[in-house]
Structure 1
Amino acid sequence: MRKRITLSCLTACIASLSPLSSSFGASDVKFPDKVCNVTHYGSEGHRLQIDLNTTAIQQAINDCAQAGGGTVLIPRGNYLTNPLFLKSNVQLKLEKDATLVASTEIAAWRANEQSRYAEAENGWLPFISIANASNVAITGEGTIDGQGAVWWERWRENIRATGKKGGTDRPRLVYIKQSSNVLIEGITLTHSPSFHIVMRYSHDIDVNKTRILSPWHAPNTDAIDPIDSQNIRITHNFIDCNDDHIAIKAEKPDSRFPDGVVENIYIANNTLKQGRGISIGSESAGGVNNVLVENNTFEGSMYGIRIKSPRGKGGEVKNIVYRNTQMHDVEVPLVFSAYYKAAPIVQAEVDKMLEGGGFTLGEQIYPPDSDAKQPFDKYKTPHFSNITVEDLTSTGNSKAAAFIIGTPEAPLSGFHFTNVNIEAVRGLRVRNAELETKGLNIKVVEGPVIQQDAGVKISH
């Protein structure tokens, strides 16, 4: 049985840096023995799927829920379907070599009066919805394929037409909304139109032993995004995607969560390939508190560990621990940034913005060191504190070791680096930040090991 993670447990573990037992989980799912096999409802898993299976599969889900719960079984085969809606006390189980394939009929992804409750924040229905539900699981050895290429091309066409970077006006693959006690385990998620797994206003969620895959050219294909959610466990996953491997977001404050609307997140033992790191932000206005990230391996990623928020979306991020991290060929292992502003896609516009100084990092643009202090706002100004990085080793081809960039109105405080070893072309750049180091070893090819801009305090 999975044990529920608690605030006191995770707080104590972070404070002491003692091992967090793998027996602790966020979800505690249980299902009756009833099995609703979708082939008994008329679904046929043909190799070359032409007809939709939506009605049959949704009826199996509904019948299982109405009977008090159980397992909806997807046997081996390919099943083309429009968006599906999971219910409380239902486990969707995909057997080995079973694939749910998302249709590309755009009209099917818009909600009607009956499905409005499951609509995502961007106005699209997700492929698999878990909304206003509890005790739900998606398990097995099968695959959920979002057929994202059609949607990615829509994104490119919009950029060609407007000359501006596109957003994420596309469906999500799995969307957990206002739900609790949810398990996603064992399956493969691939080719999402945008983000693969989103959890919003939810709590007690496990994502374990999943494979999340999308090609490097697939835009905004975040793997796992916990948003305004609590008690989340993300463990033993393999992620190879275009955008953030994990993006923790706190969009707006809530009086029920005075220490942060995102609280108690455990991320461990994941293998992370291409992608843009384990991130907090860019939205952090509601606050993020108590995150433990340990025993993760990165290889060939654009970024490793990031906390990123811009003025206007910032807030308090505190009590974050990263430990026992291995990286190889990560372009920039560490980024802690209170400036997260997208650079224009036209290089001439970038050059003009940099005439007064500043620099670019990836697709973001930073102001010069002389940037003026602005009024502090608790829910708009990024302010990060009590951040620990311990036992990190990064080898291979890195462009720069790290960036720790705070604003003059809210310098980053309580950053602790212990036994951090990084090989990179360039070193660590620090601005408006307080950093304590013990065993910081950075090997660089060019430039200083540490470049100190304004407002820096470093102790060894």
Structure 2
Amino acid sequence: MIANRIIALKRVLMVSTFTALVFSCAKQTTNVSDSDPWRRMELIIKSIPQTQFPDKTFNIKDYGAVADAKTSNTAAFEKAIKACTENGGGRVLVPDGKYLTGAIHLESNVNLHLEDNAEILFSLNPKDYPIVHTSWEGTELMNYSPLIYAKNKTNVAITGKGTLNGQANSTNWWIWSGGKDYGWKKGIPSQNDPQNREVLVDMAERGVPVTERIFGEGRYLRPNFIEFFQCNTVLVKDVKVINSPFWILHPIKTNNIIIDGVTVNSHGPNNDGCDPEYSQNVLIKNCTFNTGDDCIAIKAGRDADGRRVALPSKNIIVQNCKMVDGHGGVVIGSEISAGVNNVFVENCIMDSPNLDRAIRIKTNSKRGGVIENVFVRNLEVGTVKECVLKLNMFYNVYGSQTGNFIPTIRNISLENINVKNGGKYSVWAEGYKESPVENITLKNVVIHKVDSIYLLKNVKNINFINTYINEKKVAQIKN
């Protein structure tokens, strides 16, 4: 009896000690994070688990694949992936050569690896992409499968220096955008027809269950290229991705993903390079983006659907990337209703005559959302058309974008930034009187050849520290 009491007492003491230690560590981490956001970034990186695979190889040629660029290899990919996962995981090898296929669905513990001269050509037949649970412009639905898709998987990767070719152009997927620059003419069906995009948005506003939002054939909503849906511990490394139908890299509701050394070259409509959505612990590093839309666009759901899901995107890190072409370098929004926080961008190069903004946050009173704690440092920017930093609560596209969900934007910091041609404004920030844009800091920023220093409406606490615009030091604004 006494022995049992002593053991019980020891357990209580151990639990108490452990609890105190946890709270002590948590307090210490909080203090470090609050005082040094870049230390917080380092802790996030260290917390991201690495993918690991058994040393086993499953060559798609052993499962019937033919590298002639015309024989369908959909079944061969499916068989190789199934064999890999059923045998404990490993590497599904795509040898040198050109392989035509429909949708590829990855499984847990599978590393899809492309040899240097391997190229996967994705079918242009929409029937080769079965209906799955996915998302389109921030709204969940049942639609064409992404070209590469994984749902509810753990420990999964796409690696190697081969090429993933969506084959999209103005005669197939891109024409669905309804853009005249992409082959569309009056009379050709597109996503802009009333029964397509508008119906999906309306369904979400009315709370129609996702399983009943069935699109696909006849609705012209293009599939994403690579989508990890509700996955954990993911790696995409070294591959080249070209000619995407729509968004290119789309982790949604996915935690712990590393995108490293990827080259994106795709100039179609809505060809964002990487769109993390409802995701956390996302590391994007050493990548090159040459895109038809934003290079990186952080998302968090659209309007009612974003508020239904209510998962903010957070702990998003961008390091050592090159933005060759694209509308925005690193953008947050506009599908942003669940909010975004803890974004870190460092050591990037942005230089394109088509770059409108280097850093941009876009939302409105229909989207809402809280966007906070965005830290940027060590950027080399060539030319921007509009502004270096744009923070906009009145983003308007696709008709009326006003509602009752006033957004919040706060705690935005730019440090050690050099811009050769600054465009119209160095900073363009617009908030609401009842919700001003708060706490903007520019420190050690040099911007050349800009028309106006700033355009500010309803901004609270903006600080210019050792910042020079058009060779003149910017005076501190009284707030």
C-alpha distance 391-309 of structure 1, shift in aligned 2 (>3 A): same
- Kindly indicate whether the alpha-carbon contact (under 8 Å) linking 1:93 and 1:139 is maintained by their aligned counterparts in 2: yes
1:142–1:429 CA distance, 2 compared to 1 (3 A): same
Structure 2 residue aligned with 1:269: 320
Residues 12 and 198 (structure 1), Cα distance of their counterparts in 2 relative to 1, 3 Å cut: farther
* Alpha-carbon distance in structure 2 between the residues aligned to 1:162 and 1:30: 47
Q: Is 1:414–2:439 an aligned residue pair?
A: yes
Partner of 2:109: 89
2:468 aligned residue (428, 438, 441): 441
Normalized per residue, the structure richer in helix is 2
CA separation in 2, counterparts of 1:386 and 1:17? 11
Q: State the partner residue of 1:297.
A: 349
> CA 1:25 to 1:237, structure 2 compared with 1: closer, same or farther past 3 Å?
farther
Change in CA separation of 1:324 and 1:79 when aligned onto 2, cut-off 3 Å: same
> Partner letter of residue 230 of structure 1?
Q
1:41-440 equivalent positions in 2, closer than 5 A: 41-46=63-68, 49-111=69-131, 116-117=132-133, 121-122=140-141, 123-149=143-169, 150-155=172-177, 156=179, 160-161=186-187, 166=192, 169-215=221-267, 218-251=268-301, 252-253=306-307, 261-275=312-326, 276-300=328-352, 301-331=355-385, 332-342=387-397, 380-396=405-421, 398-427=423-452, 428-434=454-460, 435-440=462-467
Q: Structure 1's 315 and 35: CA in aligned 2 closer, same or farther, altered over 3 A?
A: same
Secondary structure of 1:226's counterpart equals coil
Residue 456 of structure 2 aligns to which amino acid in structure 1? V
- Alignment CA distance shift 1:146-1:162 (3 Å): closer
State the SS of the aligned residue for 2:62.
helix
- Aligned pair in 2 of structure 1 residues 289, 96: CA closer, same or farther (>3 Å)? same
Kindly state the Cα deviation for residue 254 of structure 1 after the two structures are TM-superposed. 7.1
Matched position secondary structure for 2:343: strand
Q: What are structure 1's unaligned runs of at least 5 residues?
A: 1-5, 345-364, 367-373, 451-456
Q: Which amino acid aligns with 1:198?
A: H
| Matching residue's letter, 1:309 | T
Secondary structure of 1:296 counterpart: strand
- Residue identity in the other structure for 2:338: G
What is the SS of the residue equivalent to 2:80?
helix
TM-score (structure 1 length as normaliser) = 0.81
Whether the 8 Å CA contact 1:283–1:314 is kept in 2: the answer is no
Counterpart residue type for residue 415 of structure 1: I
205-214 or 433-442: bigger deviation: 433-442
Per-residue deviation at 1:209?
0.6
Aligned counterparts of 1:7 and 1:389: Cα–Cα separation in 2: 27
Runs of 4+ in 1 over 6 A off after TM superposition: 6-11, 162-165
SS of the aligned residue for 1:277 comes to strand
CA distance in structure 2 between the partners assigned to 1:154 and 1:11 by the alignment: 51
Partner residue in 1 for 2:7: none
Distance 1:335 1:397, change over 3 A: closer
Residue 211 of structure 1 and its aligned partner are, at CA, apart by 0.2
Give aligned-pair identity as a percent: 29
TM-superposed deviation, 1:66? 0.8
Structure 1 residues 140-169: Cα deviation after superposition (integer angstroms, max 9, x where no partner): 010101111121123236674499995682
In structure 1, how many angstroms separate the alpha carbons of the residues matched to 2:188 and 2:426?
Answer: 35
Unaligned runs of 5+ in 2: 1-25, 198-219
**Counterpart Cα distance in 2 of 1:204 and 1:175:** 14
The one-letter amino acid paired with 1:180 is N
TM-score by length of 2: 0.78
Q: Which whole-Å deviations, capped at 9, do the CAs of 1:62-86 have from their partners, x for residues lacking one? A: 1101111110000000000000100
CA RMSD of aligned residues (A): 3.0
Q: Are residue 458 (structure 1) and residue 477 (structure 2) matched?
A: yes
Seen in structure 2, the aligned counterparts of structure 1 residues 438 and 133 have a Cα distance that, compared at 3 Å, is same
CA 1:83–1:18: 2 relative to 1, 3 Å = closer
Q: Distance in 2 between matches of 1:444 and 1:160?
A: 50
Distance in 1, Cα, partners of 2:186 & 2:61: 44
Alignment check: 8 A CA contact 1:177 1:201 kept = yes
Q: Which residue of 1 aligns with 2:202?
A: none
The 3 A distance-change label for structure 1 pair 135 and 343 is: closer
CA contact (8 A) 2:422 2:447 kept: no
Distance 1:425 1:264, change over 3 A: closer
Tell whether the 8 Å contact from 2:393 to 2:431 is kept in structure 1 after alignment.
yes
Secondary structure, aligned partner of 2:250 = strand
In 2: Cα distance, 1:241 partner to 1:130 partner:
24
SS at match of 1:65: helix
Q: Across the two proteins, how many residue pairs are aligned to each other?
A: 405
Q: CA separation of 1:7/1:288 partners in 2, compared to 1, >3 Å: closer, same or farther?
A: farther
* Equivalent-residue separation in structure 2 for 1:296 and 1:44 (angstroms): 40
Give, in angstroms, the shift of residue 440 of structure 1.
2.4
The residue identity in structure 2 corresponding to 1:306 is R
Q: Cα distance, 1:134 vs. partner?
A: 0.4
